[in-house]
């Protein structure tokens, strides 16, 4: 029987090692690669084309939500399961909107992770009970405030990248080197994203990124 091919993405080696050890006990799941950030995950998906990606959210360079959006857009046949410590309603909704097929807390039972992998591989979705409750509550709340568009959704993929890197403290030149663009281009992205978010200085930008979980402390 062919095994389900898995890519594990988390910036903590101990988490990746634990997941690999757990999945090694199953007879139908195989870890074919590990990534330490969203950008690396996207590159490895292009190279290895796994069937399922286990994805953390808070990671350097490119977070898990952005990586999930890009993977689902470029490889619609690859399923993504977000595995994270966050369970609040905002995260649940953003994960689903990003295109993930499953959402599991890192505090969930190991059997839930295996069940999630098998479920999304079959084409189903998987939400742990606590996460499903958060999603229902978020939906009920959103119906009362429908029509208020989130300014973050107006940002382009590149503007989201620049937002994260600026909030992490990288200089314009460092960001330009990372993205292989000119400093002038980076400044243009910064100006655009700050206008869209109605943010006028770097301090407020960092606060915004922390509130949204784009970066962590």
* Domains of the chain: residue spans and CATH: 4-143 (3.40.50.2300), 151-212 (1.10.10.10)
Pairing of strands 52-55, 29-35: unpaired
Q: What does the buried/exposed string (b/e) look like for 64-94 if buried means 16 or more CB atoms within 10 Å of the residue's CB?
A: bbbbbbbbbeebeebbbbbbbebbebebbbb
pTM: 0.64
Q: Determine the angle formed by the axes of helices 172-179 and 183-197, rounding to 10 degrees.
A: 110
Return per-residue pLDDT of the chain as tens, 217 residues. Answer: 689 999 999 999 999 999 999 999 998 999 999 999 999 999 999 999 999 999 998 888 888 899 999 999 999 999 999 987 776 667 777 888 889 998 888 777 788 899 999 999 999 988 877 667 666 666 666 655 555 567 888 899 999 999 999 999 999 999 999 999 999 999 999 999 999 898 988 888 998 999 888 987 6
The first and second tokens of residue 63, run together, are 């977070």
């Amino acid at each position: 029987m062919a095994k389900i091919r898995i890519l594990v993405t988390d910036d903590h080696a101990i988490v990746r090692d634990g997941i690999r050890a757990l999945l090694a006990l199953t007879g139908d799941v195989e870890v074919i690669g590990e990534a330490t950030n969203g950008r690396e995950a996207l590159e490895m998906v292009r190279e290895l084309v796994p069937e399922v990606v286990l994805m953390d959210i808070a990671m350097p360079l490119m977070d898990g939500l952005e990586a999930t959006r890009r993977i689902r857009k470029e490889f619609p046949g690859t399923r993504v399961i977000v595995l994270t410590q966050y369970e609040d309603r905002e995260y649940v909704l953003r994960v689903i909107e990003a295109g993930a097929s499953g959402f599991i807390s890192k505090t969930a039972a190991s059997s839930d992770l295996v069940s999630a992998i098998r479920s999304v591989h079959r084409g189903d979705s998987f939400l742990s009970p606590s996460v499903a409750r958060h999603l229902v509550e978020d939906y009920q709340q959103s119906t009362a405030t429908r029509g208020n568009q989130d300014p973050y959704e107006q940002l382009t993929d590149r503007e989201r990248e620049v937002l994260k890197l600026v909030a992490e403290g990288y200089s314009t030149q460092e960001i330009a080197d990372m993205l292989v663009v000119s400093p002038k281009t980076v400044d243009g992205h910064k100006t655009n994203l700050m206008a869209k978010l109605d943010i006028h200085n770097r301090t407020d930008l960092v606060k915004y990124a922390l509130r949204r979980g784009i970066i962590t402390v």
